[in-house]
Amino acid sequence: MSSDLVDIFVSYALQFPLYIVWIVGMVLSLVRMQRHPKVSILALVALTGFFFLSMVTPWAYRMLPQILGMVEGPFDRLQMFYHVVRFFHGAVYTVLFALLLAAVFGQRKEDVPRSEPLTSPEDLHHGM
């Protein structure tokens, strides 16, 4: 197995706990789709996006130097290409996180007014 593949698999292994959380979240979204369709769809899209982004990113960053090795040009130009790729990665991550926040907080109904406490401070003193 080549060094590149080993590095990619090591990267996947290090992110394994996140994969478990994302997969559990996807399953929960599918299970709750009937009761909360909008929230479930937003969460499912975001969690699936996080999962695929985390699968593609190690591969892309490992293969990018090989692709850039074929491109002629000054180092500054190649470095700028890396910055553009990192920017788009951050932008996609931001959109996915915004979807997740919209799923969690966007579909809330108005807060229900709180009821009075079952016991008042006077009731506590009278019971002594």
Taking CA 68 as the corner, what is the angle to CA 62 and CA 72, rounded to the nearest 5 degrees?
165
Higher local confidence (pLDDT), 62 or 12: 12
Q: Number of structural domains, the chain?
A: 1
Instruction: Give residue-wise pLDDT tens across range 12-59.
Output: 999 999 999 999 999 999 999 999 899 999 999 999 999 999 999 888
Residue at 127 is within a domain? no
Q: Is residue 93 a part of any domain in this protein?
A: yes
* Per-residue confidence band for 61, with pLDDT thresholds at 50, 70 and 90: confident
Q: Inform me whether the pLDDT recorded for 111 exceeds 60.
A: no
Amino acid at 126: H
Q: How many CB atoms lie within 10 A of CB 103?
A: 21
Retrieve residue 103's tokens: 């799923």
Residue 26 located in a structural domain: yes
Give the model's pLDDT for residue 106: 85
Whole-number pLDDT of residue 78: 72
In a domain, 94, yes or no: yes
User: To which residue do tokens 């990113």 refer?
Assistant: 57
Give me the pLDDT at residue 128, please. Answer: 53
| Domain annotation covers residue 11 | yes
Residue type, 68: L
Model pTM score: 0.72
- The closest alpha carbon to 43, from 30, 59, 57, belongs to 30
Flag whether 126 is in a domain.
no
In this prediction, residue 120 carries a pLDDT of 61
Mean pLDDT (the chain) is: 83
Residues of the domain holding 65: 3-106
Instruction: Please check whether residue 123 lies inside any domain of the structure.
Output: no
